[in-house]
C-alpha cells in the first residue's frame, strides 16, 4: 500500500496547489484514484470486505477534501463510490439470500426466516419509493425486494459473517466505478445532445465567463443547423469570457462580448441565459463564478429563463449553510489591481494602524434555487425542486458527513 499512499499524497498536493483545474477533471482523477485503491486493497476471509473498503475510501476522502475544501467535486465522487460499495454489497447479499431460499424447500422454517429477512430489508426503504429510471433499469430475474436501490442507507458494518466473497464484491465495485468514470468523461456530450431541444431558431443566448460544458452545448446546437446569437459577458477579473467568445467565433457562431456591467442593459433582448457552475447544492442552489448572481437577478427581473448546465458529478449532497462547505475562496488581490498603482492607499494610517484600502476578490457567487429555471444534466432536464431526488439516487445518507470534525467557528466565519 506504499505506492497507493504515494498516489494519494501526490494528488492531494496537486489539489492544494490548484494544479488540477475544472470540476470534471478533478472528478475523473478522483474516481480513477479510488479505483486504484479499491483494486489494490487486500482483505482476508474473516473480515467484512465492504466495511474495510468503506473505511479505506473514507480515510482517503478526508485527506483529499482537506487538501482543497473548495473543490466540492472531490467529496461528491468519494460519496458516490461509497454509495456504490454499499449497493453492490447489499445486492450480492440479497442475491445469495434469494438463491438459498429457492433451494431450501425442505426446511419451511428456514425459508420463512430468510423471506422475513428479505422483507425486513425491503421495509427499511418503503418510505422512499424507487425512481422510474431505477425501475426501468432493474434486472427482470431479480425480485424488487432484492434490487440494489433497496440498499441505500443500509448498515453494512454489522454483517461481517454474511458478507460475500471479496473477489465477487471487488469485481462488481470495479465495474460500477468504471461506469462512473465513463459517465464523467462523456457528460459533456450527453448534455450537448439536449441543446437542440432548448435553443431555437433566431434566439439570443447570454452566458458569463468560460465553461467547457456551455461551449459544447452551444456548438452542438450550431451543428444541428440552429441559427442564433450568443452574448458573452467577459467575466472579470479573469476575463475568461474572451476565451469562450474566441472559441465560439471559431465554430461559426455569431458572438458578442459585453462588459459585466452591461448585463442588465442587454438582458431584455435575450431569450435565454445558459451558464455553467462550480457545484449544485442539495437545495437546488448553485455555487458559480463571481458575478453569476447578478446575471440571475437580472434574468428574474425580465422573466428570462436561467438554465444551468452541469454534470451529475457536480451534484453536492450538502447544503450551502453546512459548516463543512466553504462557500467562497478569496483569490489574490493582484487580479483586481496592481500593488504599485495603489501603494499609497495601502499604507497604514498613523492613528488606527489599519490599512486605508481593503481588496476583496471572491471566486464564487451563490445563486439561490428560486433564481434557477432549469438544470440540464447528463440524465436530462430537472427543476431545482427535483435536485433532492437526484441526490437520493446517487448518495447514501450514511456518507454525507465525511469529515471527522467540523471547522472551527472562527475559521468558518472567515471563509464565507
Contact of 400 with 317, CB cutoff 8 Å: yes
Give the Cα separation of 99 and 93 in Å (integer).
10
The CATH number for 193-328+363-415, chosen from 3.40.140.80, 3.40.50.620, 3.30.413.10, 3.40.50.10470, is 3.40.50.10470
Q: Single out the residue of 288, 367, 281 nearest to residue 317, CA to CA.
A: 281
**pTM of structure:** 0.79
Contact of 368 with 285, CB cutoff 8 Å: yes
Q: What's the order of all strands across the beta sheet hosting 204-208?
A: 254-258, 229-233, 204-208, 272-276, 306-309, 374-377, 380-382
Query: From first to last of its 416 residues, what are the pLDDT tens digits of the chain?
Result: 568 889 999 999 999 998 988 899 999 999 999 999 998 887 665 567 888 899 999 999 999 999 998 899 999 999 999 999 999 888 887 766 665 655 554 455 555 555 544 544 444 443 344 554 555 554 444 444 444 444 444 444 444 344 446 678 888 999 999 999 999 999 999 999 999 999 999 999 999 999 999 999 999 999 999 999 999 999 988 899 999 999 999 999 999 999 999 999 999 999 999 999 999 999 999 999 999 999 999 999 999 999 999 999 999 999 988 766 666 788 888 888 877 777 666 655 555 666 677 888 888 999 999 999 999 999 999 999 999 999 999 999 989 887 654 334 434 333 33
Q: What is the DSSP letter of 129?
A: P
Residue range(s) occupied by CATH 3.40.50.10470 in the chain:
193-328+363-415
DSSP, collapsed to helix, strand or coil, labels residue 364 as strand
Cα 214 to its chain centre, rounded Å, is: 16
Give the Cα separation of 159 and 408 in Å (integer).
36
The answer for residues whose C-beta is within 8 angstroms of residue 294's C-beta and 6 or more apart is: 260, 263, 264, 365
DSSP, collapsed to helix, strand or coil, labels residue 145 as helix
Amino acid at each position: 500500500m506504499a505506492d497507493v499512499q504515494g498516489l494519494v499524497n501526490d494528488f492531494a498536493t496537486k489539489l492544494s496547489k490548484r494544479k488540477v483545474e475544472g470540476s470534471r477533471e478533478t472528478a475523473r482523477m478522483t474516481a480513477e484514484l479510488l479505483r486504484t485503491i479499491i483494486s489494490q486493497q487486500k482483505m482476508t476471509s474473516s473480515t467484512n470486505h465492504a466495511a474495510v473498503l468503506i473505511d479505506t475510501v473514507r480515510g482517503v476522502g478526508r485527506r483529499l477534501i482537506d487538501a482543497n475544501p473548495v473543490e466540492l467535486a472531490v467529496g461528491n465522487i468519494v460519496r458516490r463510490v461509497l454509495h456504490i460499495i454499499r449497493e453492490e454489497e447489499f445486492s450480492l447479499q440479497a442475491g445469495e439470500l434469494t438463491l438459498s431460499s429457492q433451494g431450501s424447500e425442505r426446511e419451511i422454517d428456514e425459508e420463512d426466516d430468510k423471506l422475513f429477512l428479505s422483507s425486513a430489508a425491503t421495509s427499511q426503504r418503503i418510505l422512499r419509493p424507487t425512481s422510474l429510471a431505477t425501475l426501468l433499469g432493474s434486472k427482470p430475474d431479480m425480485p424488487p425486494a432484492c434490487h440494489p436501490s433497496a440498499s441505500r442507507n443500509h448498515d453494512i458494518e454489522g454483517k461481517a459473517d454474511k458478507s460475500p466473497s471479496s473477489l465477487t464484491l471487488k469485481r462488481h465495485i470495479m465495474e460500477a466505478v468504471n461506469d462512473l468514470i465513463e459517465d464523467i468523461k462523456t457528460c459533456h456530450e450527453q448534455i450537448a445532445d439536449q441543446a437542440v431541444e432548448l435553443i431555437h431558431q433566431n434566439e439570443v443566448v447570454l452566458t458569463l465567463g468560460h465553461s467547457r460544458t456551455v461551449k459544447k452545448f452551444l456548438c452542438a446546437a450550431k451543428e444541428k443547423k440552429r441559427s442564433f446569437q450568443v452574448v458573452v459577458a467577459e467575466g472579470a477579473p479573469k476575463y475568461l469570457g474572451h476565451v469562450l467568445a474566441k472559441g465560439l467565433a471559431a465554430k461559426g457562431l455569431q458572438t458578442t462580448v459585453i462588459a459585466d456591467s452591461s448585463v442588465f442593459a442587454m438582458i431584455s433582448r435575450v431569450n435565454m441565459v445558459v451558464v455553467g457552475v462550480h457545484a449544485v447544492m442539495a437545495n437546488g442552489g448553485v455555487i458559480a463564478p463571481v458575478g453569476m448572481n447578478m446575471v440571475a437577478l437580472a434574468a428574474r427581473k425580465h422573466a428570462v429563463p436561467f438554465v444551468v448546465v452541469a454534470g451529475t458529478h457536480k451534484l453536492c449532497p450538502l447544503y450551502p449553510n453546512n459548516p463543512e462547505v466553504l462557500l467562497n475562496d478569496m483569490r489574490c488581490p493582484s487580479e483586481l489591481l496592481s500593488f504599485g498603482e495603489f501603494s499609497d492607499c495601502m499604507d497604514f494610517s498613523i492613528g488606527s494602524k489599519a490599512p486605508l484600502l481593503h481588496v476583496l476578490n471572491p471566486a464564487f457567487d451563490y445563486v439561490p434555487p428560486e433564481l434557477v429555471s432549469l438544470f440540464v444534466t447528463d440524465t436530462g432536464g430537472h427543476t431545482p425542486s427535483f435536485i433532492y431526488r437526484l441526490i437520493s439516487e446517487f448518495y447514501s445518507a450514511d456518507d454525507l458527513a465525511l469529515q471527522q470534525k467540523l471547522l472551527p467557528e472562527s475559521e468558518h466565519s472567515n471563509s464565507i
